[in-house]
Structure 1
């Protein structure tokens, strides 16, 4: 039987590595480790859960306990995966991706997310896309048109317009700022 745990702020491969180290140090066996979620071999007793929660908090993570919070974290993890880790050729919409991966109707996910977070999934998705654009601009390996294509924007003008609306500056003005204009994924 699966025993999932949901962990807030586990949003990148480095985070997964850190959580893996914590689990191994505490000798907690697990089957899978994904963004925001760990599938344990066995359920934790109260002392193990308390100790795990403490060790995670030291590293900036949070063990999520209520179901709504777990679902919100899963939504955020899937949005991050969709934006940052999905191949360009994928033509699946975000709503279809969330429905498939969370096995729930998008409308119920959207309603819950808006109620709990005070913003829409779409606005969270846009913020994640813009952070990814910032990352690609800073790496300076792709042109703006290549970035637009990679992130499935309909045009450079669409990307630039959305970038300016979210950040208040053009992509070229951001490029001049350098890395200090970026946010960490868990703070978006």
Structure 2
């Protein structure tokens, strides 16, 4: 028997961090996703233990301010893509500026400087990843997926999908259907 599981990474990471900080007896406050304020001085041994725990989960502490802001940009973009229905008709540049409190020009330049890619390209990659997830985990049509991800048309989604993955969305759906068929035949 095979099952598919959908993860809420934001929730999982938050829960792990809260459990580990509480377990270590560190007083803290969660500010935003991935942002923690310690409410008292944390002894070195506890901080080392916390860092080791984070490393075990593939989570790392970021201390460089530019890298922190770039991570916030990435998190905000991912949140924007996952909640596209709630951010309808808001340009991504406006959304990022309002959420992060910086001009889009500054955010865009910083993002390119640190990641060697553009904000726009990262948004496209996240939209395509979300489209793939929707194709795998739902029965939505390409029209519904295009609408949900705020594409102007299925053709626009298809063009970006092919440019990003090398295959069309329809081919991707056929591959997924074939894998499911093969998987169900094994059971």
* Cα distance in 1, alignment partners of residues 94 and 44 from structure 2: 37
Relative distance call for 1:146 and 1:62 in structure 2 (3 A) is same
TM-align CA RMSD: 2.2
The structure number with the bigger radius of gyration is: 2
- Post-superposition CA distance 1:53-110 (Å, at most 9, x none): 2110110000001111111111111111111134345322111111111111111111
* Cα distance in 1, alignment partners of residues 46 and 96 from structure 2: 31
The alpha-carbon deviation at position 178 of structure 1 amounts to 2.6
The structure with the largest strand share of the pair is 1
* Cα distance in 2, alignment partners of residues 75 and 49 from structure 1: 26
Secondary structure, in 3 states, of the residue corresponding to 1:79? helix
Aligned residues: 171
* Cα distance in 2, alignment partners of residues 42 and 77 from structure 1: 27
Q: Which residue of 2 aligns with 1:51?
A: 49
The answer on whether the counterparts of 1:11 and 1:80 sit within 8 Å (CA) in structure 2 is no
Counterparts of residues 7-46 of structure 1 (less than 5 Å): 11-32=9-30, 34-46=32-44
Question: Which runs of no fewer than 5 residues in structure 1 stay unpaired?
Answer: 1-9, 181-188
Deviates more, 1:100-109 or 1:55-64: 100-109
Question: Which runs of no fewer than 5 residues in structure 2 stay unpaired?
Answer: 1-7, 180-187
Q: Which residue of 2 aligns with 1:73?
A: 71
Q: 1:87 aligns with which of 69, 85, 88?
A: 85
* Cα distance in 2, alignment partners of residues 127 and 22 from structure 1: 32
Q: 1:141 aligns with which of 133, 139, 142?
A: 139
The structure with the largest helix share of the pair is 2
* Cα distance in 2, alignment partners of residues 67 and 89 from structure 1: 27
Q: TM-score, normalised by structure 2?
A: 0.82
Q: TM-score, normalised by structure 1?
A: 0.82
Q: Which has the higher contact order (CA 8 A, sep 6+)?
A: 1
* Cα distance in 2, alignment partners of residues 50 and 69 from structure 1: 21
* Cα distance in 1, alignment partners of residues 103 and 41 from structure 2: 28
